[in-house]
A and B are shown apart, each in its own frame.
Chain A
Amino acid sequence: MASGDKLDGAQLIDFYRRMLLIRVFEERSAEQYMLGRIRGFLHLYNGEEAIAVGAISSLQPTDYVVTHYRDHGHALAKGMDPNAAMAELFGKATGCSKGKGGSMHLFDLEKRFMGGHAIVGGQLPLSTGFALASKLRGDGDIALCFLGDGAINEGEFHESLNLASLWKLPVLFFVENNLYGMGATVEQMLAFHDEIYKFANGYKIPSVRIDGMDVLKVREATQEAIAHVRGGNGPFLIEAMAYRFRGHSMADPAEYRARSEEERWRMRDPITTFGASLVDGGTATQEELDEIRTEVEEIIDAAVQFAEDSPFPEPEALYDDVYGGM
């Protein structure tokens, strides 16, 4: 455990609850997608929950989080109301973005969740901007920027790391390496694929590779990285090894990878393994964990009901929020 991060039982159980909230949100989203209530693209985060929860729980509320299109987990971990998130997926007026954004474009300014951004790599320059604003104002906030292994191939990754390093910007780049960019393996698409975190060193940014399936390891590494970043030492990069249990999106049966590979990773499910460790360590009983699942399911079922009951945006809303006032 990182120095200064003494977690009590209640906090550990809270991590479990937060991960489970994301998992159940995704399970229910998939069901609603199959029912046709959620349309377009739906990219699920199943399997990567330890990253969102371990990393974001280490932040201050005023720190910025920005991410890619697989954004439900990060949004919920940053505190977005599940009702507003689910309603957005339904395209309802009560959604966080009033139904204008959809699954890939969740935003919650009050929580400083600065968006799901659906153009691969596009969130990286924005993250340096959030960090620059904070640095210029001297308000001490940092930016946490999630990206996938696929984004390493984009020029914006390299431009942003360089700028962040040159200007010592308070930004933590967090690579979720889930081994696939849509259907292509990281080996196929990235020449220097086996040690992605070392790309950072080319920009004189310290970096580390960690196990992204273990919430406590993610938390520990993030806290160390944050101490570096908030201390005015410039950016840091974490590469977390992880796996998405489902296809790239709901439209993807993942025929490009072996079921045996999926099974191997599912054995390391970040929620079940963490739950088992809580029981083994005497922090919680299985009954308590079951109760948490029931509570979480109630929250998400209520979110689905809220989304279902909410109105679609009125036609008059079409031209709202294209431009601001003068």
Chain B
Amino acid sequence: MKYLILGIGIFILTVVQTALAQNFSINQVFPNFMLMLLVIVSIYASFHEALAAALLAGMLADFVSALPDGVMTISFLILVMAIRLAGRLFSEKKENFLAQAGVMLAAVVAYYFLAFFVSEIFARLGLGASFSLVDSLKKIWLEAILDLIVLYPVYLYYLLVSKLMLRYAGEKSI
């Protein structure tokens, strides 16, 4: 039940992200709600929840993106594990918004490189095409700014999902 609510939460956020991207993108760049949710889940939720979120978000992203299936799942899993490892270094600063923003910026950069390297491995194995990292990196600064803007609303959204998980699954999330 807990993971079903988390899955529905991720699905809704991805739908909103895609719908907004279709209408309000700036130079084809839009905030990555899914990535922001993963950053927040990696910092605040348990390891199991973070892994489940990475798997669910990754599979959904793989289904709706043109990249070979598996690229986003693997990228998200590695990203979540990396944030969890890094999180140990600043465990006392969890509530600090600046620390969160720092992790978010690092996650955005890491996400681009991870997605590229994983898709490149897939391409070399003949499992699909890769994408241009240079082209993607040209818009990374704009995405980072947009991500920073939506970080707090996504955090509030995560609190809402957590409350629902607590109410219906009876397990403490944060």
- A and B interact: no
Using CB atoms and an 8 Å cutoff, list the residues of chain B in contact with chain A. Answer: none
